[in-house]
Structure 1
Amino acid sequence: MNALLLIVTIAGQRVALPAEAVESVVELDTLIPVPRAVPHVAGLSALRSRVLTVIDCRRSLELGATDTSGPIREAAVVELDGHHYALIVDSVEDVVEALSDPAPVRAAMGPGWERASCGMVETEEGALLLVDVAALIAGTEAKAA
């Protein structure tokens, strides 16, 4: 596997997102709450005249809520089914090459990680959990479907 991966930190855990799914990495400075939105939707933000639905990755993974009271939040911008999303992460590190195909995870993880996991991928940075962007966007709603 020669795919590129974006290393991010979510809830203190270093994980990988498929770089091909990520349009850009940004710092969000405005977050508008959305009444009656599902809990993992932190709100809306704008980027280059585009409206982004902002996803709280911690909440999507059932790991509590991200503190969104600060002025700036790092996010990975992705597109899924014609809609643009900003995935709030703790930090963005680097882009690396996957040295293996995803392998099954051989450890117990929380239900959120298990739902969003595509498996473990070897990189020059060591083994990283590959996270499914669509599962982050769907949040716990994916379990009900």
Structure 2
Amino acid sequence: MIGELLVVARIAGRACALSALDVKSVIEIGTVTPIPRAPSWIAGITALRSQALTVIDCRRALGLAAGASGWPTDHRAIVVAEGGHSYALLVDAIEDITTAASEAGQVPGGFGPEWSRIATGMVETMAGPALLVDLAALIAGPEGLSSEIEAAA
């Protein structure tokens, strides 16, 4: 982990780190088309070079309320691939690309169950401490994707 390249973004006021190997690009988010009956954390779909991306609102994926404006404040999104699908992650801000200065440690208490569900550890970076994010857990949403799909069926 030490020396691994990380993308640091702010979600609901917290510094969060994603492995740069999981990040395909950072894009300006254009038009987001809502998807009827989609779970609340799926903001809709958008296009990137003729490829459809599912847009995930990271605050809602954590089970938190939307920001004051209803949307994250950054007009950019982090594009990732997980399980053969592409996603655009809406975050409050994309802060830095940096390296890990420590191994992932235990997440200190007090962050709450929504954070402990998606954080695999706390890592010190050259930009300061950040929660290391489990991408699959974040994308699955607050109750897990399988339970939402079963409920919609």
Q: TM-score, normalising length from structure 1?
A: 0.91
Aligned pairs for 1:38-117 (under 5 A) are 38-66=39-67, 67-68=70-71, 73-117=75-119
1:129 corresponding residue in structure 2: 131
Q: Which runs of 4+ in 1 moved over 3 A?
A: none
Cα displacement string for residues 21-45 of structure 1 (whole angstroms, at most 9, x for unaligned residues)? 0000111120000010011101000
Q: Structure 1 residues 26, 143: closer, same or farther in 2, change over 3 A?
A: closer
8 A contact 1:75–1:88 mirrored in 2: yes
Aligned partners of 2:94, 2:115: CA distance in 1, in Å?
A: 18
Q: Percent identity?
A: 49
1:17 and 2:1 aligned: no
Aligned partners of 2:4, 2:93: CA distance in 1, in Å?
A: 21
Instruction: Give the aligned length.
Output: 144
* Matched residue type, 2:75: R
1:29 corresponding residue in structure 2: 30
What is the CA distance between 1:69 and its match in structure 2?
Answer: 9.6
What is the CA distance between 1:84 and its match in structure 2?
Answer: 0.4
Aligned partners of 1:118, 1:69: CA distance in 2, in Å?
A: 23
The 3-state SS of whatever aligns with 1:54 is strand
Q: Structure 1 residues 106, 12: closer, same or farther in 2, change over 3 A?
A: closer
Aligned partners of 1:63, 1:127: CA distance in 2, in Å?
A: 21
Over aligned residue pairs, what C-alpha RMSD do you find? 2.0
What is the CA distance between 1:106 and its match in structure 2?
Answer: 2.0
List runs of 5+ in structure 1 lacking aligned partners. none
Aligned partners of 1:132, 1:96: CA distance in 2, in Å?
A: 18
Aligned partners of 2:4, 2:126: CA distance in 1, in Å?
A: 13
Q: Structure 1 residues 113, 144: closer, same or farther in 2, change over 3 A?
A: farther
Cα displacement string for residues 79-129 of structure 1 (whole angstroms, at most 9, x for unaligned residues)? 111110000011111111111221111221122111000110011222211
The 3-state SS of whatever aligns with 2:144 is helix
* Matched residue type, 1:102: A
